[in-house]
Structure 1
Amino acid sequence: GNIAMEPFRAFVTDKLPDSQVNRGFIMQSLMIGLGGTIASSLPWLMQNVFNVANTSADGSIPKNVQYSFFIGAFFFLSAVLYTVFTSKEYPPDVLPDGGIAEKEKRSFASGIAEITDAVRNMPSQMKRVAVVQFFTWPGLFLMWFYYTTAVAVNVFKGVNDQDPTYSHGADFAGLTLAFYNVVTFAFAFILPSIADRLGRRVTHALCLLCGAAGLISVGWVSNPNMLYVCMTGIGIAMSSILSMPYAMLSGSLPRNKIGIYMGIFNFFIVLPEIIASLGFKHVMRYVLHNDRMLAIQLGGGFLVLAAVICYFIVKDKPENELQTVKLEIEEARSI
């Protein structure tokens, strides 16, 4: 999913002037929120509308979840293929600002060398935003890993996945996750005006704090309906997470290397996921004693840390790097 999404980020900066980048990335956030709402609701819809079983006697994945994944995979592939065959992009030798891209024969070795060189010469603004990303995504991963089970066990008092109470709690958790995607979708409409008024850095930091409050407060929920309030904070944060980091990068990346830098930027989403997948089970066992609710609240702590880093380290307008990009463009035009 991450690999497929990153070229879409480059499309925005390729096709839009800087004055429209905020809205371009936020439009992506809006559509991701809409799709996420439908996806999170599918297990509930499968059971309550199409009467597909949400439990499994042999402990396998319930049919309502299986069918939801099949439907999601179909639409995911269809959307990617539609974009590939219908979207126009600038030829690689002509950039939208009139610059001329370098032409050279490519090989696997030269590709590795180019990536290595790009990492070595990463713009300072990208380094700052990458640190924010590195601490943002563990918070989200912990929510995705443990939220459904925590709600089913801690809030609904279910015993295991064969317990109807547990299944009901898991389905309800799916509805609240769908709700945060609704908030992501709705908040995307007002996020541009907030970013224009406060700046991208402050806007993103505040949104991350909303998400942190949402995750941390889950631990004190006794009435399941209060989870919708918690997920409101997550939806606000997610709307910004899907747009503001990329908007903060715009203008600081060389135009002829946006694609490669967007790919490198994706490292700072994937690496925390790999670290969490491989190592967090030990934290759960020996530190948190398998308390999933504490894991979710720890995720909120990661979002607080990301917000603090964003506010104090990231710059709204890295003027020195913008000047560097302008010089690169002028040099390309003179060739």
Structure 2
Amino acid sequence: MQKPKLKFWDIWNMSFGFLGIQFGFALQGSTMSRIFETLGADKDSIPFLWIAAPLAGLLVQPIVGYLSDNTWHKTLGRRRPFFLLGAILSSIALLVMPYSSEVWMAAGLLLVLDASINISMEPFRALVADKLPDSQRSYGFVVQTLIIGVGTWVASNLPKFVNNTLNVSNEAAPGVVPPSVKVAFAIGAVVFITSILVTIFTTKEYTPDQMTAFGEGEEGAEKKGMIATILSTYALMPTVMKKLGVVQFFSWFAFFAMWTLANPALTTHIYNAGKPDIAQFAQIDDEGTPLVDTERVILFKSDQSKLEYTEKDKAYNEASDDVGSKMGIYGLTSMLFALLLTFYTAYNSINRKYVHMGSLILGGIGFLIMFYIPGQPEYLFVSFSLIGIAWGSILSMPYAMLSSSVNPNKMGLMMGVFNMFICIPQILAAVGGVVFLHKLIGDEAIHAMTIAGIFLILAGLSNLLIVNKKAITYQPSIDNE
């Protein structure tokens, strides 16, 4: 018995929750480094402060994948209980995050936020495989990418929109996150929970009996414990997953470099408006710590020093708003790229391998351009447009290739295990990899974007390792009869 093909709006509704998930990730990606800088972190320490994010994914996703494979709630089904739990926790974390008063507090909340987002996200990947026949899976992942693109673009522009349109200030006292960022995170929390609820209420899951009828049940299968199942899955990882893992390693190292260091790199190199060092303008003690009064307000050397700091900090906040807005372009481009793929793959076959390879190489070129445009932020449109093509492919092609090559009975677990190839490169980058590599070129943070470009091109070329025809070849999802 074959699964019925779903209509576009059915696929759209089942993927709509990704809008909220991406709001969470995009606000994190475009704003988290700005929050760390505001709280006093230096640029070289920022990647390490992000380590909580990939660690959370590495630990949470395989566990959630296993649990969602083995869950059935009579009302919410198999995957939707995790959508709801993750949405509630993520929304709370988003509301609290910008009120962090210390770097360690923001880093801890990042761990909570990323773990919560992963609880919702991993089952969404598996839901596509649960609901769609193989012929529609690329189509489903592309629609998912389309929604992710919308979320990335809108959420990345939120701080600038809140400042310019809602007239909420993007300035604050030293060490305090601006009100515009706080409002943006609150909006993100509302969008997160609302979009997840749309998917929960509009999408029904197949029952265990129906999955068995489709040949994807687990009747008669040997039941193991969670740890044993996860470890055996790592040990029996299919060849396609391992080769895709090489592609993923270079891809996610590159994007982690962007998320962690794009703000200090671009505000300094392209806008000439880096975060001012408060110690240069404030009264300091023998250890170089700025002095504060009884109300914990910074004591400046003079009124002129305070004015100079305020002007520089205002320029930094405006540059950061614009960097976030420009980063949103990669979400918009990925959306348009996904839209083109959606229409094309509905009626035509594609070679997933070469589509992904070409997309990643274009993204790498986008990163390399950044070094050559100091003082010309308008050209970031070109850079992030090319990066968006790579991002749109990263969010669809690897999952489509993988879902056609693994045991459908363990789709949630497989998607969770596959996440190790996303998390491990980010962890390596966080513990010093990206800073070490870019300092081989120079001390300036902009060289991290050059490393990102080189790694994304290597990711593209790594697709040549993939030779499995079932993974590579995609057939149309809609019959042309």
The aligned residue for residue 57 of structure 1 is 173
1:54-74, Cα deviation, whole Å (9 max, x unpaired) = 122222222211221222123
Q: 1:152 aligns with which of 267, 282, 287?
A: 267
With 182-191 and 276-285 compared, the bigger mean Cα shift is at 276-285
SS at match of 2:225: helix
**2:254 is the alignment partner of 1:139:** yes
Amino acid at match of 2:332: V
Q: Does the 8 A contact of 1:219 with 1:294 survive in 2?
A: yes
Residue 181 of structure 1, CA deviation: 1.1
Q: Does the 8 A contact of 2:264 with 2:275 survive in 1?
A: no
Bigger helix share: 1
Q: Does the 8 A contact of 2:438 with 2:447 survive in 1?
A: no
With 70-79 and 289-298 compared, the bigger mean Cα shift is at 70-79
Structure 2: distance between partners of 1:297 and 1:177: 16
Residue 301 of structure 1, CA deviation: 1.0
Amino acid at match of 1:45: F
Residues 68 and 103 of structure 1: is their aligned pair in 2 closer, same or farther, counting only changes over 3 Å?
Answer: farther
The aligned residue for residue 97 of structure 1 is 214
**2:428 is the alignment partner of 1:313:** no
**2:415 is the alignment partner of 1:262:** yes
Residues 39 and 255 of structure 1: is their aligned pair in 2 closer, same or farther, counting only changes over 3 Å?
Answer: same
SS at match of 1:189: helix
The aligned residue for residue 61 of structure 2 is none
Q: Does the 8 A contact of 1:94 with 1:101 survive in 2?
A: no
The aligned residue for residue 159 of structure 2 is 43
Q: Percent identity?
A: 38
1:109-157, Cα deviation, whole Å (9 max, x unpaired) = 8111011111111111111112211111010111111112222111111
Amino acid at match of 1:40: S
Q: Does the 8 A contact of 1:136 with 1:302 survive in 2?
A: yes
Q: TM-score, normalised by structure 1?
A: 0.87
The aligned residue for residue 301 of structure 1 is 454
Q: Does the 8 A contact of 1:199 with 1:316 survive in 2?
A: no
With 12-21 and 189-198 compared, the bigger mean Cα shift is at 189-198
Residue 316 of structure 1, CA deviation: 5.2
User: Which ranges in structure 2 are unaligned for 5 or more consecutive residues?
Assistant: 1-116, 277-309, 472-481
Q: TM-score, normalised by structure 2?
A: 0.62
1:243-289, Cα deviation, whole Å (9 max, x unpaired) = 00011112211111111101101121122222222223751796455
Residue 86 of structure 1, CA deviation: 4.1
**2:227 is the alignment partner of 1:112:** yes
**2:342 is the alignment partner of 1:166:** no
- Whichever of the two has the greater Rg, that structure is 2
The aligned residue for residue 400 of structure 2 is 247
User: Which ranges in structure 1 are unaligned for 5 or more consecutive residues?
Assistant: 320-335
**2:371 is the alignment partner of 1:219:** yes
Point out 4+ residue stretches in structure 1 off by more than 4 angstroms.
103-106, 194-198
How many residue pairs get aligned? The number is 316
Structure 1: distance between partners of 2:319 and 2:166: 19
The aligned residue for residue 424 of structure 2 is 271
Structure 2: distance between partners of 1:132 and 1:156: 33
SS at match of 1:190: helix
